[in-house]
Amino acid sequence: MFATSSRAPRQPDLTNLVPYGDTLDDGKVQLSFTLPVPAGPEAREAARRLMLGMGLKEPSIVSMEAVGTSMSFFIGYGSIVRGVDFTDLHVPKSEYEAMDMEGVDGFVAEHFDRPLVVVGACTGTDAHTVGIDAILNMKGYNGHYGLERYKMFRAVNMGAQVPVETLVARAIAENADAILVSQVVTQKNLHIMTLTSLVETLEAEGVRDRFVVVVGGPRITHDLATELGFDAGFGPGSYAEDVGAYVAQELLRRREARARLAEEGFLSDDPASGSREA
């Protein structure tokens, strides 16, 4: 019979947070990368020294594979010595209360007298619809249904390679509440130029404040999105309920803010002077 211990498990040092490999606080990490040199002893040593230069302790190359005749692919292990102070991290993120599909529909039904209208697309030359389809299409992604299946949303999916001018015109025509943009192609920061173009077009048309404008993609963060002029950004691991909850709650915040300003005499209560009213 094995003896059991009542001792509480050791907790990680959050002021010097390092990866967990085999044991707590051992700092073990796995890296993979390609070098533009043929596989061989020199390439292996070059890879090991690169890991040393990254500050990894006792690096080891456990796999080297030739990639054609002029490149080599490596997998290496090492230990991170210097961690990060987790207690001092403050990451900008979209402010909203997380809800499931039923919760989002219930929230919209409670606070609005109609379904919310969202228009989405992959803009510019981006031909990848996987992101926008995951959020809008009825089938959704990974067991999370898209906004087309929601009772209190009307989703217009314009697909891929949509010029920003066309997207803005459709959003205006649909009297949309929100514009959703997905950017998957990010080589040489192409997504930055495309996203900047959308915000500039909205501002040039004088309708930027009329919509909640959201962007998502593999290299999108909330910080980047707001820096580019968007209201919120959603990166990997986001689903339709995240976007739907944010859009609904942001629309309610705006409506309440406008009501307060109008009550105080600082703003006209004419719906044409701002975003669409419920």
Q: Global pTM? A: 0.70
Q: For residue 78, which of 58, 48, 50 has the smallest C-alpha distance?
A: 58
pLDDT value for 92: 57
pLDDT value for 73: 98
13-68: pLDDT as tens digits? 888 899 998 889 899 999 999 999 999 999 999 999 999 999 999 999 999 999 99
**CATH 3.30.30.60 residue ranges for the chain:** 14-80
pLDDT value for 273: 47
143-171: pLDDT as tens digits? 999 999 999 999 999 999 999 999 999 99
Can you tell me the distance from the alpha carbon of 28 to that of 57, in angstroms, rounded to the nearest whole number?
9
Residue 13 host element (H or E): none
What is the average pLDDT across 79-92?
80
Q: Is the pLDDT of residue 137 over 60?
A: yes
Type of residue at 39 = A
Question: In terms of pLDDT, which residue wins out, 47 or 271?
Answer: 47
Asked if 170 and 207 touch (Cβ cutoff 8 Å), the reply is: no
Give the dihedral of Cα atoms 245, 248, 252, 257; nearest 10 deg.
80
- Residue 272's pLDDT band, with cuts at 50, 70 and 90, is very low
**CATH 3.40.50.280 residue ranges for the chain:** 101-269
Tokens of 175: 């009297």
pLDDT value for 276: 61
- Residue 194's pLDDT band, with cuts at 50, 70 and 90, is confident
- Neighbouring C-beta atoms of residue 209, cutoff 10 Å: 13
pLDDT value for 44: 97
In terms of average pLDDT, the best of 5-9, 193-197, 220-224, 227-231 is: 227-231
Helices (H) and strands (E) in the chain, counts: 7, 8
What class has domain 14-80? alpha beta
pLDDT value for 192: 82
The per-residue DSSP string of 209-240 comes to GGSEEEEE-TT--HHHHHHTT-SEEE-TT--H
Q: Which CATH number fits domain 101-269: 3.40.50.2300, 3.40.30.10, 3.40.605.10, 3.40.50.280?
A: 3.40.50.280
Q: Which residues are catalytic?
A: 139
Can you tell me the distance from the alpha carbon of 81 to that of 101, in angstroms, rounded to the nearest whole number?
43
- Residue 10's pLDDT band, with cuts at 50, 70 and 90, is confident
Question: In terms of pLDDT, which residue wins out, 9 or 258?
Answer: 258
Q: For residue 171, which of 160, 184, 156 has the smallest C-alpha distance?
A: 156
Looking at the DSSP assignment, which residues form a beta bridge with residue 214?
A: 180, 232
Mean pLDDT of the chain: 89
